[in-house]
Amino acid sequence: MKRRLLIFGGAAVAVISATWLAWSYTNLKYPTPEELVEQARPATEKQLAESALKPPSWLVLLPGYTHRYGKGCEDNACGWIEGESGFRFTYAISPNEGQLVDATQKEKYLQFFEERINGYRVRKAQTQSGAVMITILFDESESTGNAANFRADSASATQARDMFQMAVGVVPKKPKP
């Protein structure tokens, strides 16, 4: 008796699966190969220009700065911010982003600072080559990859301050519990 139920149960599953499969092919819209290629294609310059008008909600641009989304950002938010003076910095934010400013290698930086904003660790560093970097960590693990990174190849003190002011927009306004 048990064996018959198992066979019947398997047949019922097969009938249900076949029915769902037939229904899905007739009722669900699957992308065509052409649509898949179009979705995978990098953004055009026109699309990037249009996206600049809609910066991320966390970003408060200072006067004289514009925003552009980056190409090829599959699992993160990335882009760059550029000032009228030509100063430009990039950003990447993701649960898997990693830490651009590594506290275990402080000696490789010309300057290194760490502070807390609303309970979140914010690290700032300047390399020997003059690059300015900011990492905002979203959890307490020293090896976390859950971070936001900002980088400029070089910056004056004023530009670095502007970069920091815009970068801290990523920090949640509600303090960490």
Contact 160, 132 (CB under 8 A): yes
pLDDT given at position 111: 94
Quick one: which of 162, 171, 176, 170 has its CA closest to 81? Answer: 162
In a shared domain, residues 52 and 91 = yes
> Which of the four pLDDT bands, split at 50, 70 and 90, describes residue 76?
confident
The pTM of the full predicted model, rounded to 2 decimals, is 0.67
In a shared domain, residues 7 and 67 = no
In a shared domain, residues 101 and 140 = yes
User: Please, which residues have CB within 8 angstroms of residue 119's CB and are 6 or more apart in sequence?
Assistant: 175, 176, 177
- Percent share of the chain, pLDDT over 90: 25
User: Please, which residues have CB within 8 angstroms of residue 87's CB and are 6 or more apart in sequence?
Assistant: 152, 155, 156, 159, 162
> Is the model's pLDDT at 23 over the cut of 50?
no
In a shared domain, residues 156 and 70 = yes
pLDDT given at position 33: 47
Query: Could you tell me the two tokens for 45?
Result: 């310059």
In a shared domain, residues 93 and 23 = no
**DSSP secondary structure letter of residue 82:** E
In a shared domain, residues 23 and 107 = no
Domain presence at residue 175: no
- The boundaries of the domain holding residue 118 are 45-170
> Which of the four pLDDT bands, split at 50, 70 and 90, describes residue 5?
very low
The count of domains in the chain is 2
In a shared domain, residues 7 and 56 = no
pLDDT given at position 22: 46
Domain presence at residue 36: no
Domain presence at residue 149: yes
